[in-house]
Amino acid sequence: MADWNSLPASSDALDTALLIGAVPRVITPAVRASRRLPPRRRAQTTVQAWLLVIDVRDPVLGAHLRRVGRLARDLGTAAGLTDVDLDALEWSGRLHDVGKLGIPDEILNKPGRLTAAEFERVKLHPRLGYELVRHQAALDATLPGILHHHENFDGSGYPGGLRGEEIPLSARILRIVDSFDAMTWPRVYGELFTAEAALRELRRGAGAATDPHLTELFCDLKQSAPLGQPGALGGATRPPGRA
Ligand SMILES: [Fe+2]
């Protein structure tokens, strides 16, 4: 994983510092209340608090996190990961966008295109998520996925500009399943794809946005999924909604 201190400086460094300071202040009372619990139980309690906050603030994002966690486990299983790594991967998926707690609603829910400045703000969310989660030692294995889930295989992503297998495996898996879920479920912005069209888009971006081997594995997995399951091919997998 990239050294946190070596990552490129944000153009919005002051805001980043303020946000990173503010988010833990919101969560700290809950953490303090669970201080006498064993570390793993304490981490679970804290994660549940974060996910509850997300569900209350943005139920669409909460549902996305749950689906990405499940899809990540499915792809990780197909890739042959151990049970321990699968657990960490699923929790990386559940938490990958937790840093969006630090991004204003008017930016996250803005219909249409973001301005360059707004997009720079959104790009802070992997760093914010990392900052939030790194205080829980029991969640250390989730950090690479959270920090690097927007890295592109060709090095054009963020925050580290990592390329190829420099990108942690969990982050390469999340990059694929996060994209698939974002394309196939309604959200405020962007086009809504059928599962078939989303897989075509993933294949088109393989080698540039995503790991080509893992992308093919995921496409094979989805094409063999029974009809009627979320994201399965050949049927309506979601209610109509905003694109
Ligand atoms: Fe994200």
Question: DSSP code of 209?
Answer: T
Contact (CB, 8 A) for 198 and 182? no
Q: From 3.30.70.20, 1.10.357.10, 3.40.50.2000, 1.10.3210.10, which CATH number describes the 12-223 domain?
A: 1.10.3210.10
| 78 Cα to the center of ligand 1, angstroms | 23
Contact (CB, 8 A) for 218 and 202? yes
Instruction: Give the model's pLDDT for residue 142.
Output: 97
Residues of the chain with pLDDT under 50: 1-14, 227-228, 230-243
| 37 Cα to the center of ligand 1, angstroms | 30
Question: DSSP code of 10?
Answer: P
Closest listed residue to residue 47, CA positions, set 124, 175, 170, 138: 138
| 28 Cα to the center of ligand 1, angstroms | 23
pTM: 0.79
Distance, CA of 73 to CA of 89 (rounded, Å): 6
Instruction: Give the model's pLDDT for residue 229.
Output: 52
Distance, CA of 114 to CA of 219 (rounded, Å): 30
| 86 Cα to the center of ligand 1, angstroms | 20
| 40 Cα to the center of ligand 1, angstroms | 25
| 149 Cα to the center of ligand 1, angstroms | 6
| 125 Cα to the center of ligand 1, angstroms | 7
Give residue limits of the domains in the chain. Answer: 12-223
> Residue 53 burial by CB count (10 A; 0-12/13-18/19+): exposed, middle or buried?
middle
Handedness of CA 75, 70, 199, 223 (dihedral sign): positive
Instruction: Give the model's pLDDT for residue 18.
Output: 56
Distance, CA of 47 to CA of 54 (rounded, Å): 11
Closest listed residue to residue 41, CA positions, set 142, 145, 137: 137
Task: Tell me the pLDDT tens digit for each residue of 209-219.
Answer: 999 999 999 99
| 2 Cα to the center of ligand 1, angstroms | 17
CB count within 10 Å of CB 141 equals: 15
